[in-house]
Amino acid sequence: MRLLGYTRVSTAGQGAQLQLDALVGAGVQKRDVFSDVTSGSKTAKQRPGMRRLLDYAEDGDTVVVWRIDRPGRSLLDVLATVNHLRDQGVKVRSVSDNIDPETSSGRMMLGMLATLAEYERELVTERVNAGIAAAKQNGTKFGRPPVDADEITTKLAIAEDARAKGRTAKDAARLVGWSRATLYRHRQAADT
């Protein structure tokens, strides 16, 4: 029987050291920890680290996670991942939640905690959306700033003059602070 670990963080800036320390403390060797640094919006099977873990785990192994929400983004994803592992004969254990899905009470706790984690994420999303709505109501503009048509015409004329004098499109675009693609896009828009 092997102890295999799994960690997941949403961004590289977050770091998984806390999770890794907990897994090592639970007896998992560092070499047996599979990790993902990816958005939680991806299902478990879409994450490369989880895919490697699912392919590697064998009957009799135990997958150890820091918290039960690490294997999946939503209640359905967590349950699908745990059930997939259990169907392979692989046990799942959560260190900080102390959940053992091999027992009926563990399965109940798994469902409750996954539901609460999903609820928490939905609350965060609601708060962010409410903040954006309030900012818009107060006049905050989102997205790219509007482009001044006169400025584009001036920059296009400068770039075209540079092209006529033998400069490459890349150099002419750089002269006015654009990329070559932006120069071509503005040129095409001006021709239509």
Which residue numbers are catalytic? 10
**Dist. CA 33–CA 28, nearest whole Å:** 7
Q: Give the torsion sign (CA, 85, 43, 18, 106).
A: negative
β-sheet bridge partners, residue 9: 37
Q: Give the Cα-Cα-Cα angle 81, 84, 47 (nearest 5 degrees).
A: 45
Q: Which residues of 118-131 are buried (b: 16+ CB within 10 A; e: fewer)?
A: beeeeeeeeeeeee
Q: How many residues does the chain have?
A: 192
